[in-house]
């Protein structure tokens, strides 16, 4: 997966994500979801039929969230996930996204919940808000945050990119999506960044892969523009 949160010169925050998964059947199961209460939309998301959690979602006029897989565990640690889930009653990562979209009152509250709620396993949460500076990548361990990397536009940090590798580690040489995305974002520049440019970045050949199922573009300040595009063979 690849997630980007970026802020333009006017303080508008944009959030885009590619969801990658090696089962093409998921393309036909992808759907946009509108969660309603009392006849009103309370939050939006994109998911797969048969799955109750969310990896991509938006609380309108508050914040947006995407989750990227974090694969730091060795396979023989699978039992820790089982113990976390059923003994400690920890939350699956996609259920915490839903709960946060439903309950958090603003960007700050969302970041606190996503950083501190105990989880079954690790993950990256990428969060975008509605005001300048409201953007962050949270690297999660089971118990809490391993790292929190907010936007820092005053010092050149007008975007954050997250793939499936910790940002402090070197990316894999064969599939270095992180550097490809950063190079393109630098070429676009903060003045010209917008949803269309974000889509172009997420469509680059080394970023949009054969396993990319969908791309979602969102900005919590303009909830009507929530867009998901199904990718055919990357």
Nearer to other proteins among residue 57 and residue 153 (C-beta): 57
Nearer to other proteins among residue 165 and residue 193 (C-beta): 165
Q: How far is the CB of 204 from other proteins (least distance, A)?
A: 20
Q: Is 194 a catalytic residue?
A: no
Nearer to other proteins among residue 33 and residue 146 (C-beta): 33
Q: How far is the CB of 41 from other proteins (least distance, A)?
A: 8
Residues in contact with other proteins by CB under 8 A are 23, 25-26, 28-38, 42, 46, 49-53, 69, 73, 75-78, 81-82, 85-86, 89, 92-95, 102, 120-121, 214, 227-230, 232
Region of residue 39 (left: phi > 0; alpha: psi -120 to 50; beta: else): left
- Rounded to whole angstroms, how far apart are CA atoms 181 and 176? 9
Nearer to other proteins among residue 120 and residue 193 (C-beta): 120
Q: How far is the CB of 11 from other proteins (least distance, A)?
A: 29
- What CA dihedral angle connects 21, 26, 27 and 31, to 10 degrees? -110
- Active-site entry in 1, 13, 136, 213: 1
Q: How far is the CB of 155 from other proteins (least distance, A)?
A: 34
User: Residue 109: what are its φ and ψ, rounded to 5°?
Assistant: -60, -40
Do 92 and 53 meet the contact criterion of CB atoms below 8 Å apart? yes
> Using alpha carbons only, what angle is made at residue 46 by residues 140 and 163, rounded to the nearest 5 degrees?
40
All residues at 6 or more sequence positions from 199 whose CB lies less than 8 Å from its CB, including other chains: 16, 215, 217, 229
Could you give the C-alpha distances from 206 to 61, 143, 194, 209, 211, in angstroms and in order?
32, 33, 21, 6, 11
Q: How far is the CB of 21 from other proteins (least distance, A)?
A: 9
Q: Which helix (H) or strand (E) holds 115?
A: helix 107-116
- Rounded to whole angstroms, how far apart are CA atoms 179 and 33? 32
Nearer to other proteins among residue 25 and residue 169 (C-beta): 25
Residues annotated as catalytic are 1
């Amino acid at each position: 997966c690849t997630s980007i949160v970026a802020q333009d010169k006017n303080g508008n925050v944009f959030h885009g994500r590619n969801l990658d998964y090696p089962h093409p059947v998921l393309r036909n199961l992808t759907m946009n979801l509108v969660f309603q209460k009392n006849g009103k939309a309370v939050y939006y998301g994109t998911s797969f039929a048969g799955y109750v959690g969310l990896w991509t979602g938006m609380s309108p006029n508050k914040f947006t969230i995407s989750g990227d897989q974090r694969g730091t565990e060795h396979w023989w640690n699978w039992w820790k996930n089982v113990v976390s889930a059923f003994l400690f009653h920890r939350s699956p990562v996609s259920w915490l996204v839903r709960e946060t979209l439903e309950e958090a009152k603003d960007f700050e509250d969302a970041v606190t919940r996503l950083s501190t709620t105990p989880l079954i396993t690790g993950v990256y949460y990428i969060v975008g808000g509605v005001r300048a500076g409201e953007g962050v990548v949270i690297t999660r361990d089971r118990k809490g945050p391993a790292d929190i990397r907010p936007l820092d536009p005053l010092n050149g940090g007008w975007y954050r990119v997250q793939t499936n590798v910790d940002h402090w580690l070197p990316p894999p040489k064969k599939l270095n999506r992180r550097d490809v995305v950063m190079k393109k974002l630098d070429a676009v520049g903060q003045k010209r960044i917008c949803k269309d440019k974000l889509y172009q970045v997420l469509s680059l050949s080394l970023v949009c892969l054969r396993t990319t199922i969908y791309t979602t573009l969102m900005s919590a300040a303009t909830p009507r523009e929530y867009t998901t595009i199904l990718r055919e063979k990357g």
